Amino acid sequence: MSEPAQTASPAGGAERSLTFAQALEMAGEHLAAERLEAAADLCRRVLDADPACAPALHLSGLLAARAGDLAGAIALVGQATRIDGGAAIFFCNLCELARQAGRPEEALAAGLRAVELAADLPQALNNLAIVRFERREYAVAADLYRRAIALAPGYPEAHNNLGNVLRTARRREEALEAYGRALALRPLYADALNNLATTLRDMGRIAEAESAYRKAHALSPLSAVVLTNLARAVIDLDRLEEGERLIGCALALEPKLAEALTCLGRLRLDQRRVCEAEAACREALALRPEDAETLSVLGLVESAKGNLEEALALFQRAIAANPELAEAHNNAGNILTAHGRLAEGRAAHLRAVELDPRQAAFHFNLVEDGEITAADDPHLAQMEALARDIDSLAAPSAIRLHFALAKAYDDLGRRDESFERLMQGAALERGRNGYDEAASLGLFDRVAAAFPAARMAGPPAGDPSQLPVFVIGMPRSGTTLVEQILASHPLVHGAGELRDLGDIVQGFDAKDGAAPVFPESLARLTPADLGLIAARYLRRLRRHSKSARRITDKMPANFFFVGLIGLALPGARIVHVTRDPIDTCLSCFSKLFADEQKHTYDLAELGRYYRGYAGLMAHWRAVLPPGGMLQVRYEDVVGNLEASARRLIDHCGLKWDPRCLSFHETARTVRTASAHQVRRPLYATSKGRWRPYAARLAPLIAELGELAETD
């Protein structure tokens, strides 16, 4: 950014009787020394004597700008230009004042006139370049900055501003050089430090970025922009509480800073505080209605709320506002893929990678779109190039890159390299996710104890509605495939993975006023409580379809709530999907889940978790009434689709429909890691997938014990 230029002010002392020239010279000295009242007094005296004195009007305009009166400043400097249309410095400063006031056309006209009058005035070139930059005329802006630097090599603002153009063009190494030159000229240049830090963050060098932001903050402690950027860096490094504190400080300094509000919205979304995230983003959008980043984050909010059409529209608005915002292309690709528009989704992910090849998350999504079929695939080469600098990446990015490369190497049959990447990525994720194995395994026993056989044998007290169909099981066991088959029936709506039942249980008011603790709180529920839980769940479920006879809820972890479902929703159908335990666990281990599956990043822990899950499912089979839960094996579905599909439809109390056999043609939203697989006809290549990795899976197989099907 640039400050309005000042007229030259050679040193000189005050005299009792001053000429206009002397008075204005002294006023300029006062302005340079921040003695604003003294400068203003001299300007007033000159204008009292000669209201048409253009230099005095110009200087008064600069003083008005310092006082925060941009409109008044523009009026005064504009008047000066009309009186003296040949003073390039007047137009130069008018250009910057109009730009700061959000009057781009006036800024452009003034900047062009300044350069026309004085093509060798570095400030005029710099100020016009800023206008060109904001108009996204990047090549023109870069040329103007370079002309300014050629005329004034010691002009730090021009070097800094050239860095901004290079960073926008993703020529990041060159941008770092430009910022470095600015800082060499002015070591305490906070703006250049802030911009250098942002470039480092763009490059994934988050620790270096944080250090540079902290230096900028030390130089400019009251800058809400620097505080916001520092918050972004520490959030990237998983220090969410510190990031929240920094955003709070930024907003305390500048409550209407749109970028701080957008950052807060992103943080609240990471914390799953979706309503607060939306409020922050909408406040930011009210300040900057077409800000691309804010539109993109708000799209993520709508996606988290399940409003995928609204989310896609917001991502498309973000792209229209800034076609080079890679994040928006990536996010749009995720929605298009969930909708089954696979070619469009892949194109969007590819565009994101083209725009920003250093973002591991974009590579992760692109590699999930299809198989890597050749060792010289350019996308693989990009990932491998990024991996050579993996130690400089923040942990989340490094983890995604490891998992993406593991998928690519597995596609190519390079098993050892694939598994090594899995091990590295899983170890990093396990080191940061805070998995409490004792609490997790203890939960299985506690849930079973809360629903003993005697309680399950009592009369149901909830709602006998047959609307819900719960598809449960371990992740990666085939639950998405089973739901897709069911959702292909014209009377069934597939709602996907719903958090509703868990949210209702966790938020249910305890009778004694104590905070509800799952599952012990369920043991205290009265028949009236069960009815209320059922009513709340059915009301939420019906929102997904007003006409369907059955609506599926495919949240795999609803296996914890089978006892509650049996009591509160006795008419619901439950489908338990299983798959070879080793295949299931390996598939879990090979996926980077969005959240919650914290037990899947260590093979031995994963095996112990599966044993706990299998024990709980055995308990449910023992205590549920006959026919209360249908067992479906993934391998049986693959081996005989029609027989398995007929069992499923019959269990749901519906008449057979042959469309269930063409499940891959069903148009619906699928938001799981299996979104691509269920768009294809059945294939058997996932059966026995673990065998090439058998030697590496010893810790898992040992913990699975008799559950492992190794024959």
- pLDDT tens for each residue of 669-710: 554 544 445 445 555 556 778 888 999 999 999 999 999 976
- In this prediction, residue 688 carries a pLDDT of 77
Higher pLDDT: 337 or 687? It is 337
When the pLDDT of each residue in the chain is averaged and rounded to a whole number, the result is 90
> Is residue 651 within 8 Å of 575, Cβ to Cβ?
yes
**Does 108 have pLDDT greater than 50?**
yes
Reported as a pLDDT band with limits 50, 70 and 90, residue 668 is very low
**Does 238 have pLDDT greater than 90?**
no
Going by C-beta distance under 8 Å and a sequence separation of 6 or more, which residues neighbour residue 414? none
C-alpha–C-alpha distance, residues 384 and 364, integer Å: 13
**Does 515 have pLDDT greater than 80?**
no
Higher pLDDT: 342 or 458? It is 342
- In this prediction, residue 5 carries a pLDDT of 43
What tens digit of pLDDT does each residue of 338-361 get? 888 889 999 999 999 999 998 999
**Does 10 have pLDDT greater than 70?**
no
- In this prediction, residue 667 carries a pLDDT of 54
Average pLDDT over residues 264-280: 95
Report the range of poorest mean pLDDT among 285-289, 509-513, 585-589.
Answer: 509-513
- In this prediction, residue 19 carries a pLDDT of 84
Q: Where in the chain is the domain with CATH 3.40.50.300?
A: 437-707
Alpha-carbon distances, residue 173 vs 149, 196, 606, 664 (angstroms): 19, 10, 43, 46
What tens digit of pLDDT does each residue of 521-535 get? 877 788 999 999 999
- In this prediction, residue 2 carries a pLDDT of 46
**Does 16 have pLDDT greater than 50?**
no
Report the range of poorest mean pLDDT among 5-14, 63-72, 232-241, 410-419.
Answer: 5-14
Kindly report the three-state secondary structure assignment for every residue of 319-375: HHHCCCCHHHHHHHHHHHHHCCCHHHHHHHHHHHHHHCCCCHHHHHHHHHCCCCCCC
- CATH homologous superfamily of 437-707 equals P-loop containing nucleotide triphosphate hydrolases (3.40.50.300)
Q: What single letter denotes the amino acid at residue 338?
A: A
Report the range of poorest mean pLDDT among 92-101, 589-598, 685-694.
Answer: 685-694
- In this prediction, residue 331 carries a pLDDT of 96
Average pLDDT over residues 71-82: 95
Share of the chain above pLDDT 70, in %: 93
- In this prediction, residue 500 carries a pLDDT of 92
Q: What single letter denotes the amino acid at residue 666?
A: T
What tens digit of pLDDT does each residue of 245-254 get? 999 999 999 9
Reported as a pLDDT band with limits 50, 70 and 90, residue 711 is low
Closest to 356 measured CA to CA, from 389, 330, 381: 330
Higher pLDDT: 1 or 586? It is 586
Higher pLDDT: 470 or 308? It is 470
Q: What single letter denotes the amino acid at residue 200?
A: L
Going by C-beta distance under 8 Å and a sequence separation of 6 or more, which residues neighbour residue 584? 474, 476, 477, 578, 610
Higher pLDDT: 522 or 444? It is 444
- In this prediction, residue 634 carries a pLDDT of 94
- DSSP per position, 404-423: HHHHHHHHTT-HHHHHHHHH
Reported as a pLDDT band with limits 50, 70 and 90, residue 416 is very high
